[in-house]
Structures are given as structure tokens and as C-alpha cells.
Structure 1
């Protein structure tokens, strides 16, 4: 940060789920210099995936303030008191949410003083690359978690004639922990706990009962084959909670009533703490694989259900990590390809400490820009996407010009006890419908 930079920074993060809050808040911390005095204010966008208190506690990121808002409430907060605005705003939202906020903020701020706006992705980008990127275009920084992603992002923007200068290479903000130094098959007599195999579950991959039951059964079978090992099923959320993706068939429900071996357990908690005791990380395509590879923990990406785009494990072709349960049962330990790992932003070579330097320098230059920043300029407008953009904005109660529609929900004060009870009941009914009713209706339709 140049000597003329501010010694104190105000940063805001708007997130719509627990995983995006984790990404957004940790990204905000990585983007600010260690020597700066930083105030971090968090805003949680009200919706189906608004995190619970337990989920927020599990993320473990401290904010100076944290409150739940509607899109219109957030835009109102961002437009108040132009002399007391944030320096940096991180939009940790799904693509449509980012696009709506960019247009809403453009309308709210106009050509006046505004913060540097940052957005990006929570993890591996394996689907809807072009759609998601164009919905994020217009932010000052669109963060790419690896060199591989940065190249792809620029190619998409340049391919449609959009400005690609916002693409900034960083790394995932939640990498860390001590490098793995475990023995091949340590025993308690060697001073370590039992060899631990962890399966990192995903809420929507795979997305059907047959495949999820298959994976659960193979994990349980692995525990029976290896009674000397500890086998953990790492879960993302408890029944009734939602994360970034909808989980219609939670593994804990599929496991109910099964005769599970004593060395098999279901666990929650911070992924970093689980990785502290992991000797082999197994997943279909979870971002946890990148966290494990960063720490050089042996990592297996399953091929049992095929290597397919819909599963996301196609992203790991060339990684050296693809393996089946049969191979893992027989003792196989995948060895990652170092070149692939380097291009994926895993930073297992010790370069993670400098991964955010270029982003910090870019933000410092933008904050010091004479005359302030120009108005936000998303690629999508009513001229370039007249049949697409209005619908995206309307879902957040914004008109085609980004201005709140008449009657848009925007409470002036925190909801009272009765309203909170009604809201929790409505949210619970929605989740019950997703996890119980929808699968039944789907099965009936297949008869």
C-alpha cells in the first residue's frame, strides 16, 4: 500500500449464504493490508439460504457488525451519508445477485463518491462460466482464484467485447493450516491418532438418492474393510439449514437406521480443523479438495459415478487425484500433478503469502485515483440484454433502471418478535418442501 494510502479502511461484505459469507469476509481481510486499521461490516441478504447462527459460528469470521437485509435495505444503506461511505465493498453473491446489486448501486451512487467494488467465486468454477462471469461484469475487481481461472475469465470478457481489466488473479482466501507430514499408516503407538479418512460431502453433488446412497454405502464399507482407520463423513449443514446449494437429500438422513461401524462418524465443524487430523481426503468435487492439496494432504476425487461436467469432477482431469473407491479400498494414495496444482491457485509451494498482493495494489491505486471512481458499468444493460436483465433485477425488486420498484420490501427497523417467528416458520416450511415434499413429488412423476 503506498504511503499516501489511508491508514484506516471501512469494508462491507454482502453475502447470501454461509459459504459466501466465509469467502467474502475472508477475502475482505486478505485484501486489506495488515498494517491498516480495518472496520468490517457484514450484511446478510435475506433469502432461502440466509445462514443460521450456528452456521455463522462455524465459519468463525469476526465482523464489527452483522445484520440481515433485503436488497433494497442494503441499497438504501449504501446510499446514505456520502461522506461516510465504505472504501471497499465485497459482493459475495450468486451471479444474478451481483448483477442486481451492480445496477442498484449504480442508480444509488450515480457519479458521486463510491467504494471499490469486488466480487468473485467461492471455489471451483465448473459450470455456467460465461453466464456467471457476465453477471459479475461491472465490478472493479473480479477475482480469479487461480491462473487457470484468470485466463478463462479474460477470454470470456474479451470474446464478447467487454472490458477484461477487472480480472485479478488471487487464490482462495481460506487456504491455510500446517502442511501434512503424516506417516503412511500411523498407529497410536507412533504418537498420532488412527489413520483418518474424511469424505467431504456436497449439498447438491450428486443430486439424486441412488448416487448419494451409493457413496454413503461405499464410505461405510471402507470403514468396515479398515477397522484400524477412523472414517469421517464431513457434513456441510444440519437438516433444515441451507448453504449455497439446496440439499434435498442430506446424508445424515440417508444414514438413519443403518448399522454403522464403530470407526465411522458424522462430523460438522470448520473444515480446516477437520483437515488437521486428515490423512486422506475423499470427495466428488468439493473445494475442500483444494484446501487439502494446499496442505499436501493425499486427496482423491472419485470417479465411481463417472467423470462428468454435472458432477464437477471433470475439473480435476490432469490433477492426478482421480480415483475410485475400489482403488482406495486397496490402499491407493493419489499423487497430485505439481504443474496442475500450480495452475489451480493451490499455492502448495509456499507462494500463498503473496497471492493477494496484486489485488491489494490495484485497490490502493483505485482508492487514490484523482477525482474518484467512474460510475459502475456492467456489460449487461437494457440495450445489450433487454430480454434478460429486467427479470434478474425484478427478482430483487428493482426496475430496469436499477431503482427499487414501488412496494419493494424495505423495513426501516429490525423485525419484531412476531415477524421473526413468522419468517422462521416460512423459511422452515420452504426447507421442508425442498427436502421432503419435492423429492416425493419427483418420484411420483417418475412412476
Structure 2
């Protein structure tokens, strides 16, 4: 049977809800496209709290042939009106589940291959997140370790596990680390919500500043993912930029706050330090010395428990004294770090699976594990959050993007922008004040 994409480009739609997920989705789309076919990539940004700004999109460096912002119901309408071969859902679990039910309800004559996965380390809500992604044709696992865990969860609840496909993080790469004469750069990769409290984040900033003062010839960089007012995958209640303004004595001359593409920052890094950022896997892939901090313990809420056995756990005291962790090769191999040169073939299985689905017979109906029968108390309110009824059809009260014209559209966009600003101001300014008042 001839392929529906034979002799033409594979038409891929990527729906993402944050800057990091857009990066994962767009890069994944290019890596899973069969080698013998070109790609036409259309990007869609799900409107919400974490919708990325133009600056954030430029920073991640993942491009598309077209890119626009819309709601979930308008994305479903787009799939009904436009033809795509592959849809990559780079979303939180609940949004993935909603889109799966929504796409199923479209009853498309020739539905696209549905692909989803995780943007980084999966260290929490394993079963919840996985079952919300069940129903996609391909659920990508970023390592052999993850693939085994994913199949165990699906099989344990009696769900089909054939969708689980081992791959890797799509943004690994860059030159292998080689020390450079005269360069000594330490980079701390910040995370928006790990740790979460003001006291813990102030502590980390203080230790980083003290490290810079202790080693005046060393360049110390605090790598930030967003600017105040912007949001990523997680809410950042206490931005390091604000905390840095209050450092006693000011910041030392060898300390800087930096933005930009993580790969470019790693090009000049001699030691990467983080609590549990996915940047650690990028660093380990390039064989850059990497430290996972233990100052707040090794605990599940921090995510650094994922690195048990890695050989990378260390405290600021040890780093101040010149310590350099040495990664465990066996652990790194199981976690998809691919520092041994195997990364070139990491997506072979995923590409073959997508090609098989594209070239094969008509795709079956989407069958998520969660239905009105298996989760009658969980699924309906989840779908309602995305303005879908329990059968996956749009709720009648939801006005479509195409229904809004002229002045109404301008007014609605202005109100939406004001609402976003108010939300972010509330998270970063008002909420901390109320919390402090409550502690009096």
C-alpha cells in the first residue's frame, strides 16, 4: 500500500503550551520524521498562563514554517479544516488527554498520527501523567529507563503499552567538552519552581555569590530561563532577578545573570551546577563536569532523587573546596545521556514507528485509558477545563476564535493581556506579601 506521504512532505502540527514544550515538540517533530521525507511544520501555541513571549520563542531556537496562538477548541477546528499527517502534543498531561478526546470526536476520515511525550526528567506524577497521555499512537520515552517504567505502568492497569517508544531528549548535542586554557566558568542552571520557597532560593543565590567571591578568577553565571513577568512550564514565584537586587554588598564583578540558548551557554561551561534541571542531562551528554546539589537533601519534591546513582551528587561546600563529581557511565547509559556517541541512532526506532503508521492501513480509533466508564469522576471535569464535553465535542458556551471579528477581537485581546499581567503580578508580587503577613 502506498504511503499517504509518499513523494511529498510530511505535514506536522505541533501544539505546545510553554516555551520549553515548544522547543521539545518542534525538535522532536524534526527528529521523528522519516529520513526519506521532508517536513512542513506548523506550530500552534495553546493560549494560557504559560504561553511564551516572542523573546522566549527566539531564545529556544526552534523554528516552524508557521506559528500562531489559539485555544484548544480552535486547534481541534483547525484539524478538521486542515490536513496533517502527524500531530505532536507537547502539553501537560491534562491538555494531552483533552486533545486526544477532542481529536477522537472529530471522526476524521484520515486522522493524523498522534505523538506525545515528556520535555525532560520524569520524577513526579508518573502514573498520573502517563495515563493522561495514553491513547496517543506514540508515547516517547527519553531513555531505556523511562521506557521500562512507562510500559510497567500501562501494563499494570491493563492498558495497551505498544505506544511506548524509546528515544531521547531531542535537544542534546554540541561539541564534547574540552578544557580551555585560561577559562574557568561555573554555571548554575536555575529552575522556576525548584526549590520553591523564598528562603531556599535566597540561600542558593547567596551560595552562588559566595562561590564567586571565594574564586575571584572564576566566572560564575546564573543561567535564567525567563525574565520577570514571563512564565515557563512552572510558576516562578520568586525570580532570582528580584532576589539579586537585594544581595548585601551587591554582586561581585565575576558574577553575572545570563539568558539565551542553553546549548550556547554550555559551550563555555566548565562546571554545570543545578538542583535537578534537565540541563544536567545536556551537560552530561557533552561530558561537562556536572553537579546535582544536595544542600536541601535528596528528596522527591526536588527531583534530585532522579540522579541517585549518577555520581553527580554534591553540596556547595564540596564544590567550594574544588570537588568535581564524576558521572557513572552505566547510569548515564540507562538515562539516555548518550555520551558514548550513540545519540546519532537514538531516534531510529521512533522514526521507523512513525513511518510504519504513516505507511500502514487506516489508523484505528483513538482509545485513551480514561473514559466516562473508567474514570467518571475524573475525566468530565478535566475535559471541561479545556471547554470540551465528556464526548470530546466543544461545549456550546465556548466561542470560537473564528467567531470573533473586528473591535470584539481587539477588546478581547486587550482584556486577555491585562488578565495575564494581573495573574503574573499576583504570583510574583501580591502572593508573597500576603504570605508574609500571614506569618506575622
Task: Give TM-score scaled by structure 2 length.
Answer: 0.96
Matching residue of 1:36: 37
What is aligned with 1:445? 438
The 5 Å alignment of 1:394-413 reads: 394-412=384-402
CA contact (8 A) 1:5 1:364 kept: no
Q: Using the alignment, how far apart are the partners of 1:343 and 1:321 within structure 2?
A: 15
CA contact (8 A) 1:70 1:409 kept: no
CA offset at residue 34 of structure 1? Answer: 4.1
Question: Residue in 1 aligned with 2:122?
Answer: 125
Give 1:3 deviation, angstroms: 8.9
Asked if the contact 1:138/1:378 (under 8 Å) is kept, the reply is: yes
Question: For residues 109 and 442 of structure 1, do their structure 2 counterparts lie closer, same or farther at Cα, with a shift above 3 Å needed?
Answer: farther
* Partners of 1:131 and 1:212 in 2: CA distance: 28
Instruction: Tell me the residue number matched to 1:342.
Output: 333
Structure 1 segments, 4+ long, off by >3 Å, are 2-5, 413-419
Q: Is the 8 A contact 1:281 1:289 kept in 2?
A: yes
2:295–2:316: 8 Å Cα contact kept in structure 1? yes
Alpha-carbon distance, 1:418 to partner: 3.7
Q: Secondary structure at the match of 2:300?
A: coil
Provide the residue aligned with 1:376 in structure 2. 366
SS in 2 for 1:41: strand
Alignment match of 1:211 (pick from 195, 200, 215): 200
Task: Look up the match of 2:322.
Answer: 331
Distance 2:72 2:20 in 1: 19
Does structure 1 conserve the Cα–Cα contact (< 8 Å) formed by 2:188 and 2:274? Answer: yes
Alignment match of 1:291 (pick from 264, 271, 282):
282
Q: Is the 8 A contact 2:113 2:358 kept in 1?
A: yes
Task: Say whether residues 1:390 and 2:380 are aligned partners.
Answer: yes
Structure 1 stretches lacking a partner, 5+ long: 188-193
Whole-angstrom distance in 2 between the partners of 1:229 and 1:34? 44
1:164 alignment counterpart = 161
The residue that corresponds to 1:136 in the other structure is 133
Match of 1:433 in 2: 426
TM-score normalised according to structure 1 size: 0.95
2:6 — aligned with what?
A: 6
| Greater CA drift, 414-423 or 433-442 | 414-423
Q: Separation in 2 of the partners of 1:181 and 1:6? A: 44
Cα deviation digits, residues 92-115 of structure 1 (max 9, x gap) = 0000000000001100125x2101
2:99 aligned residue: 101
Measured after TM superposition, the shift of residue 416 of structure 1 is 4.1
Q: Structure 2: where are the runs of 5+ without partners?
A: none
Structure 2 residue aligned with 1:252, among 232, 235, 241?
A: 241
What secondary structure, in the 3-state scheme, does the structure 2 residue paired with 1:310 have?
A: helix
Alpha-carbon separation, structure 1, partners of 2:156 and 2:219: 49
Deviation at 1:5, TM superposition (A): 5.9
| Contact 1:102-1:139 at 8 Å conserved across structures | yes
Aligned pairs (5 A) from 1:197-276:
197-258=186-247, 259-276=250-267
- CA 1:423–1:3: 2 relative to 1, 3 Å: closer
- The aligned residue for residue 19 of structure 1 is 20
Structure 1 vs Structure 2 CA RMSD: 1.4
State the distance in 2 between where 1:269 and 1:92 align: 21
Determine the structure 1 residue equivalent to 2:301: 310
